Structure 1
Amino acid sequence: MQSNVGLIIEEKAADIGNFLVGRLLPFREKRAVGPFVFIDHMGPTCLKEYQNLDVLPHPHIGLSTLTYLLSGSIFHRDSMGNAIEIKPGEVNWMTAGKGVVHSERTPEYLRESSMFLHGFQIWIGLPKELEQSEPTFFHIGKSEIPEWEENGVEYKLIAGEIIGKKSPVPVHSPLYFLEIKTKNAQKINIGEHLFGEVGMYVMDGTVKIDGQEFGTKQLLIAKNATLCEFETTGETSVYIFGGEPFSEERFMFWNFVNSDKEMLEKAKKNWYEQNHDAFPLVPEDDQEYVPLPRSVFDIKKDNEATKSKLL
């Protein structure tokens, strides 16, 4: 029997300053799964009392960010004026639209304490007609996220709509982000409920598909979502995500996503020049920021400066 697994991606380390995360998307062979264009698995790691998460103010366009924690705490501030702590089981959903700036830090009351940090940072592309929309922000409490158990299998629908359930996260296109946990070996068949493209991330334990075993920190991309059937071999945690892909290609540079490359160039210029009309300051966190990575844009600027001096 031919396996329904079309691609196997190993989690790879990525540096976001003083913190290492496991990057799942994008990958060379697969730039997106449905509308999901970027997934970082944070931790699990222990931040000592002298270590803190400090992701400085940085910009986004053309996407929604989804932050979901399993342990730890992050304090979110953004250029819309939102300032809120996100705790385990809660969801921060921020839609950048035409442009937003935000920071993510260890809360002040925890900055001299040890803390385990574990969770997901996810980017989801926007439909073309919303790429230039006004930015918005929503915080969804743990008790609002649908949870249920069926035949010994625990489900949690973090975002989207599936299996007759709907998360309150205000998504902008058909998608799903589902947590599945088992304590004992179980056979799970949810293919009839899935649509579009689908990926499965094995966080803990082992799953068996068509007689082949896949282990921890592997991302599996299905060839056919409707054939999604797997077995867990014991205590296992997996995350199913996906949905309808966009008809237009999405391009990415740094923190910017858009269907129009010209909008990426415009965003680069605005952030490079610190245009606060395009990217407003973050209230109470406006003294520092993440600079634009060196790129063709920067090299061109350097060349122009050198040429000017020579003249």
Structure 2
Amino acid sequence: MVRRALPSRQRRMVGPFVFLDQMGPHVFQPGRGLDVRPHPHVCLATVTYLFDGEILHRDSLGSVQAIRPGEVNWMTAGSGIVHSERTGSALREGGSALFGLQCWVALPGCFEETAPAFAHLDAGALPVLEGEGISARVVAGSFWGRRAPVATLSDMFYVDVMLDPGARIAMPPEYPEQAIYIVEGRLDLGRDGSFDAGQLVVLKPGAEVVLAAAGPGRTRLMLLGGEPMDGPRYLSRNFVASSEERIEQARRDWQEGRFPQVPGEHEFIPLPESRGRPVRYP
């Protein structure tokens, strides 16, 4: 049933998902907050989803959008975009919590150089499925017969599942590549064992699994995956592309100031001089 349980930063793709970054849980003291300065991306989409707190997104398209729990920010970098992620000034004054995930989704080769775009969806726009001790929100793509309205460029799914203690739910093999990321609590997969928060469980193709909450408290999971990509991808810092040459071009464009700027922001993060070859994701 389970191929293996991997740390969240393991180097492999599951469907179009190439990178997963967990933010928090963390509590900022008054006067402090998140300050991710303007930085570039190419040939991917970023998917930001929060469980707690708030982030103010700004990008080179002129988008200014706060994201809160249950909402989704989908940013298509395509040919190139720059964005910042910060705690807003009003929230910063009194201190605030932050807990969430950002995933990077590789774009199909024919869309890698598509025009940059940004979309925000409120929590009420996302499909929700509820049962006894179970709540699931389809954040992006399609799963369990429900489709989120965000316009993805490949067949994929990304679902937030909350299980009460002892609750169980079947995860059907809807896509060739599927995985489960345990956000909180403990997940029981029967004969294949139990898994703790922070683990990414990659499933074998064609296997239906039963997800059961194993801990005394609630268990939170993100289900993710999709159709296999149309070839390997390379990752180097902020850049993901189907060729090393495209990543090198993006590096030169950033260092030489050819990326667009985020309106109202003037900070610049230079890329490090020393670097290895981009990491290849098979």
**TM-score, normalised relative to structure 1:** 0.84
Counterpart contact for 2:34–2:86, Cα < 8 Å: yes
Mapping of 1:110-189 within 5 angstroms?
Answer: 110-189=91-170
**Gapped regions of structure 2 (runs ≥ 5):** 277-282
Moved over 6 A (4+): none
Equivalent residue for 2:249, pick from 266, 271, 274: 266
Asked if 1:7 is matched to 2:7, the reply is: no
Asked if 1:252 is matched to 2:235, the reply is: yes
Equivalent residue for 1:291, pick from 270, 276, 282: 270
How far did residue 104 of structure 1 move? 0.7
**Alpha-carbon distance in 1 for matches of 2:187, 2:66:** 34
How far did residue 230 of structure 1 move? 2.8
**Alpha-carbon distance in 1 for matches of 2:275, 2:251:** 10
**Alpha-carbon distance in 2 for matches of 1:247, 1:292:** 29
**TM-score, normalised relative to structure 2:** 0.92
**Alpha-carbon distance in 1 for matches of 2:52, 2:188:** 27
**CA offsets 1:104-149 (integer angstroms, 9 cap, x no match):** 1111212222100011111100010111111011111111011121
Counterpart contact for 2:165–2:213, Cα < 8 Å: yes
Q: Which moved more, 1:170-179 or 1:225-234?
A: 225-234
Structure with bigger RCO (C-alpha 8 Å, 6+ apart): 2
| Structure 2 residue identity aligned to 1:103 | S
SS class of match (1:201): strand
Counterpart contact for 1:254–1:293, Cα < 8 Å: no
Counterpart contact for 1:256–1:264, Cα < 8 Å: yes
Equivalent residue for 2:47, pick from 58, 66, 76: 66
Larger radius of gyration, structure 1 or 2? 1
**Alpha-carbon distance in 2 for matches of 1:96, 1:156:** 25
How far did residue 233 of structure 1 move? 2.4
| Structure 2 residue identity aligned to 1:48 | Q
**Alpha-carbon distance in 2 for matches of 1:151, 1:226:** 24
Counterpart contact for 1:79–1:102, Cα < 8 Å: yes
| Structure 1 residue identity aligned to 2:245 | E
Percent of aligned positions with the same letter in both sequences?
A: 38
| Structure 1 residue identity aligned to 2:161 | I
How far did residue 224 of structure 1 move? 2.4
Query: Could you say if the C-alpha distance between residues 114 and 296 of structure 1 is closer, same or farther in structure 2, counting changes exceeding 3 Å?
Result: closer
| Structure 2 residue identity aligned to 1:248 | G
How far did residue 296 of structure 1 move? 4.4
| Structure 2 residue identity aligned to 1:41 | Q
How far did residue 225 of structure 1 move? 4.7
**Alpha-carbon distance in 1 for matches of 2:206, 2:182:** 17
Asked if 1:236 is matched to 2:216, the reply is: no
Asked if 1:197 is matched to 2:194, the reply is: no
**Alpha-carbon distance in 2 for matches of 1:233, 1:39:** 24
Counterpart contact for 2:182–2:196, Cα < 8 Å: yes
**Alpha-carbon distance in 2 for matches of 1:202, 1:38:** 15
**Alpha-carbon distance in 1 for matches of 2:34, 2:18:** 23
SS class of match (2:33): coil
**CA offsets 1:157-191 (integer angstroms, 9 cap, x no match):** 11110111000111110110111112131332222
RMSD over aligned Cα atoms = 1.5
